[in-house]
Amino acid sequence: MARPEKSPKLRKTRQQRLKDHPRRVTIADLATLLQVAPSTISRALASSPQVSKATCERVQALAAEHHYLPNHLAAALRKGHSQTLGVLVPHLTGFFFPEVVNGMAEEASRMGYNVIICQSNETQGLEMRQLDLLLNARVEGIIVSVATATRTYKHFEQVRAQGVPLVFFDRVAPGMVGDGVRTVRLDDYAGAYAAVAHLIEQGCERIAHVAGPLHLDINRNRYQGYLDALEAHGLTPDPALLYRSPTLTQVAGAAGIAAFLDLPEPPDALFAATDLVAVGAMQVLRERGLRVPEDVAVVGFSNELFTTLTQPPITSVDQRCQLMGELAVKTLLSMLPGSVEEALPPEVVLAPELLIRSSSQRLLRLATSR
Amino acid sequence: MARPEKSPKLRKTRQQRLKDHPRRVTIADLATLLQVAPSTISRALASSPQVSKATCERVQALAAEHHYLPNHLAAALRKGHSQTLGVLVPHLTGFFFPEVVNGMAEEASRMGYNVIICQSNETQGLEMRQLDLLLNARVEGIIVSVATATRTYKHFEQVRAQGVPLVFFDRVAPGMVGDGVRTVRLDDYAGAYAAVAHLIEQGCERIAHVAGPLHLDINRNRYQGYLDALEAHGLTPDPALLYRSPTLTQVAGAAGIAAFLDLPEPPDALFAATDLVAVGAMQVLRERGLRVPEDVAVVGFSNELFTTLTQPPITSVDQRCQLMGELAVKTLLSMLPGSVEEALPPEVVLAPELLIRSSSQRLLRLATSR
DNA sequence: ATGAAAGCGCTAACAA
DNA sequence: TTGTTAGCGCTTTCAT
């Protein structure tokens, strides 16, 4: 008995599909049209050196003519990697994360990678789910900033167990750096130190600080930078000039400065842990008839867009958002198998930049041209 | 001659791979472990009704134990659809786009779809490239807001030609609505009308307007709303009270108000096409010793975050960002083949919301409890 | 209720 | 330089 021919059946399915839908053109289609093997088409489209220039051009022309679009899914499945990176951020509101993501998207695109962006909405549950989603999508690596609500870190361990490189930025999971896990962060300590040193240079002597929850690295580092800058300049930190708040909003700033102003010895400067806090404080100061910076100088943190829009504009610490995004991607790419990227340190720490504006400038700047 | 057995060769490749890498567990692996067919595993994982409860549970338990992660790539390739939507925005800075994207991500996630977010950086070149990328990734539909630099629209036509549904939001390509193309926009006209009507109610009579380039729908509609509101209330638009600017920044606002104030009959109110323009104008007003809203009332547009942070806070028109994102996704999903979504109109137009703050409130509010 | 087998579109090893 | 062929991991008829 003759072996059944399989062509007829095949042909039928394909024709049927063709009728259903004006189907997208595939490599096989091009091969049929040009009477060459699919592999040749594949090679030609990739401009492989082992295909003749003539066929290469013919193929590319035909592909363009028929609006051939490579099927990334199939290629990724076959090749075993997807040229795609996963990014998981707590949210995309405010200034910081969008800006960082922007830097990432740019760098990734430049290196020929796609990016899938997900949000955890600051919850651990969604964080875990999105991580799974990214793994399902077979991303080659994941960049993540952990949600505030996250308390356990097993889900990140699992990513590493899958052999997927992980880069934390800004908010990093504690104790995970090592094989397959790296971090990119801002040097909050240095930023805070610079901010407070600047206030001291401007002649301030009683500098208050509104801090966030100190169990978070970020807030603790800012606080420590504040303390060390004071002591390095011979000032003794006054515990009464520290206001700790669970959130770092306008309301916190208003409450903080109000508390300070009621002290027997009120402060002559405020280092706020965020720009929003600085704004809240400035509003109260204005209500009480105090001038910024003459009576109280103010410095914020993050260099949010609105710092230039308030009256006066607020001195702030820039977080190098774009750069952070770029470096996160560079770091991740350098971790991919077969990467030739220059090796970056496993923990990148960015130097912040102090942007001095009117809210802290007490000294007349003596204009000397040099 | 016996047909060559292919098993040995196969086995070898697999073992080799296993040695290379601690490979991810597949359906085939689970099948081997449980001594059942791959198809059974597949069905069990999908909780198909045609598989016995017992095996279903056994399979799911085993899968969990081995941290099985479905390969989305393979499934999508086989099924012919990826459960993924593409989003292409000009950028992710500022307030508007991040917020809209947020709404999209939320709705998509709720409906079990992934989202790939790309940025065009406001250039047509990148816009075209990113569209290709999305098509390559076999997204099931694309949501896009067109770049300012975009002048031709063939690349969008091509998306439609591929049978991929397209939804424009906020910035829509002209003349494309129809089969496979829909839009979601804000009713800028209504927003502007409401803003100006509000100023008139507050007793303003000479209302100026800083407008953006009028070849863009958005700006033209805001301008028209301004005109119509004036006329509807018996006021005659004064051409001297219109300032047209190619950009809508603080600088534009400052320049605009400066020009207005030099008029023989300066305005008593400003309707700014953006919040940034409003801020710029307010800065100049303060410098000149004029009070807001007593001397000049100010209304902005977009309800940016910082409108509540200035002194005074700025009255503005909210653009319903989150809602816009959600509706864009809903619209897109309703266009997918086999969708059971309720039909939305091909052109969704959102009603904006006027948020009244101090910058425009001249009338003392008579507090009457009713 | 389960199994066998084909094939989504692409690429890479091997052969010619 | 080009062709042949197998297979990435999954789903889905069709058969049992």
User: DSSP assignment of B317-366, as one string?
Assistant: EE--HHHHHHHHHHHHHHHSTT--SPPPPSEEEE--EEE--GGG--SPP-
How does residue B343 score in pLDDT terms, banded at 50, 70 and 90?
A: confident
Query: Rounded to an integer, what distance in angstroms lies between the CA atom of residue B262 and that of residue B183?
Result: 42
For tokens 């063709």, the residue is A18
User: Under an 8 A CB cutoff, do B77 and A82 touch?
Assistant: no
Tell which phi-psi region holds residue A236, choosing left (phi > 0), alpha (psi between -120 and 50) or beta: beta
Identify residue B13 by its one-letter amino acid code.
T
Angle of CA points B10, B12, B16, to nearest 5°? 120
List pLDDT tens digits, range B164-218: 999 999 999 988 998 899 999 999 999 999 999 999 999 999 999 999 999 888 9
| pLDDT band of A243, cuts 50, 70, 90 | very high
pLDDT at A113 over 80: yes
pLDDT band for A364, please (50, 70, 90 cuts): low
- Give the CA distances from residue B56 to residues B22, B38, B74, in Å, rounded to whole numbers and listed in that order: 26, 13, 22
B4-CA/D6-C1' distance, Å: 14
The spacing between the Cα labelled CA in A252 and the C1' in C12, in angstroms, equals 61
Residues B346, B328: Cα–Cα separation, whole Å: 11
Strand B353-355 versus strand B316-318 pairing type: antiparallel
Q: Which nucleotides of D are covered by protein (CB under 7 A)?
A: 1-13
Residues contacting residue B180 through CB under 8 Å, at least 6 positions apart = B160, B163, B164, B165, B166, B335
What is the model's pLDDT at position A2? 34
Dihedral angle computed from the Cα positions of residues B213, B217, B219 and B222, in that order, rounded to the nearest 10 degrees: 150
CB A280 within 8 A of CB A251: yes
- Range of A113-122, A277-286, B96-105 with top mean pLDDT: A277-286
Tokens 């006329």, residue located: B231
Q: How far apart are CA A40 and CA A48, in angstroms?
A: 9
What amino acid occupies position A118? C
Write the CB contacts of A97 (distance below 8 Å, at least 6 apart in sequence).
A89, A90, A91, A145, B98
* Type of residue found at A357: R
CA distance B121 to A55: 36
A286 close to A298: Cβ distance less than 8 angstroms: no
What are the distances in angstroms from CA B123 to CA A128, A324, B172, B279? 35, 24, 15, 28
Count of residues in chain B: 370
pLDDT mean over B99-123 = 91
Is the pLDDT at A21 greater than 80? The verdict is no
Cα A169–chain centre separation: 6
CA of A59: nearest nucleotide by C1' is D2
Beta carbons within 8 Å of A309's beta carbon, 6+ residues apart: B250, B279, B306, B309, B310
Assign B27 a pLDDT band (cuts: 50, 70, 90): very high
Q: Residue A170: what pLDDT?
A: 94
Output DSSP code: residue B238: P
| Confidence band for A19, pLDDT divided at 50, 70 and 90 | very low
Name the nucleotide with the smallest C1'–CA separation from B38: C3
Confidence of residue A22 (pLDDT cuts 50, 70, 90): low
- Per the CB < 8 Å rule, is A115 touching B114? no
The verdict on a CB contact (< 8 Å) between B73 and A71 is no
> Does the pLDDT of residue B14 top 70, yes or no?
no
The pLDDT tens digits of the residues spanning B267-321 come to: 999 999 999 999 999 999 999 999 999 999 999 999 998 999 998 999 999 999 9
Protein residue with the closest CA to the C1' atom of nucleotide C3? B37
Rounded Cα gap, residues B341 and B322, in angstroms: 20
> Which has the higher per-residue pLDDT, A370 or A293?
A293
From the list A21, A72, A102, which residue is nearest B93 (CB)? A102
> Is-contact A350 A189, C-beta < 8 A?
no
Q: Phi and psi for B207 in degrees, rounded to 5? A: -105, 120
Max CA separation in chain A (angstroms): 106
Average pLDDT, chain B: 90
What's the pLDDT at B215? 83
Model pLDDT, residue B321: 96
Mean pLDDT of B16-42: 81
Find the closest chain B residue to A162 by CA distance: B24
In whole numbers, what is the pLDDT of chain A averaged over residues? 90
Which residues share a beta bridge with B129? Answer: none
Q: Does the pLDDT value for residue B225 go beyond 90? A: yes
pLDDT reported for residue A294: 96
- pLDDT of amino acid B216: 83
Instruction: Give the residue with minimal CA–C1' separation from D11.
Output: B78
* pLDDT reported for residue B363: 81
Q: Of A139-143, A303-307, B20-24, B326-330, which gets the smallest average pLDDT?
A: B20-24
**For residue B79, which nucleotide's C1' is closest to its Cα?**
D11
pLDDT for the residue A9: 38
Q: Given this model, what pLDDT does residue B15 score?
A: 41
pLDDT tens readout for residues A69-92: 999 999 999 999 899 999 999 998
Calpha distance A80→A110 (Å, rounded): 22
Question: What nucleotides of chain C have any atom within 7 angstroms of a protein Cβ?
Answer: 1-13
pLDDT band at residue A367 under the 50/70/90 scheme: very low
Tell me the count of A-B CB pairs closer than 8 A: 125
* Ranges of H-type helices in A137-249: 154-161, 188-201, 217-232
pLDDT per residue over A97-109, tens digit each?
Answer: 999 999 999 999 8
Predicted local distance difference test score (pLDDT) of residue A6: 37
pLDDT confidence of residue A17: 40
Whether pLDDT at A322 is above 50: yes
- Reply yes or no on whether the pLDDT at B339 is more than 70: yes
Res. B19 pLDDT band, cuts 50 70 90: very low
Q: Which nt sits closest to A78, CA to C1'?
A: D8
Q: How confident is the model at residue B7 (pLDDT cuts 50, 70, 90)?
A: very low
* Interatomic CA distance for residues B15 and B17, integer angstroms: 5
Give burial (CB, 10 Å; 0-12/13-18/19+) of B46. exposed
Count CA atoms closer than 13 A to B49's CA, side-chain side. Answer: 0
pLDDT of B95 reads: 83
Q: Is the CB of B13 under 7 A from strand D?
A: yes
CB contact under 8 A, A72 and B138: yes
Q: Report residue B117 as tokens.
A: 């977010």
Q: What is the pLDDT of residue B361?
A: 95
List the one residue out of A303, A317, A251, A308 whose CA is nearest residue A280.
A251
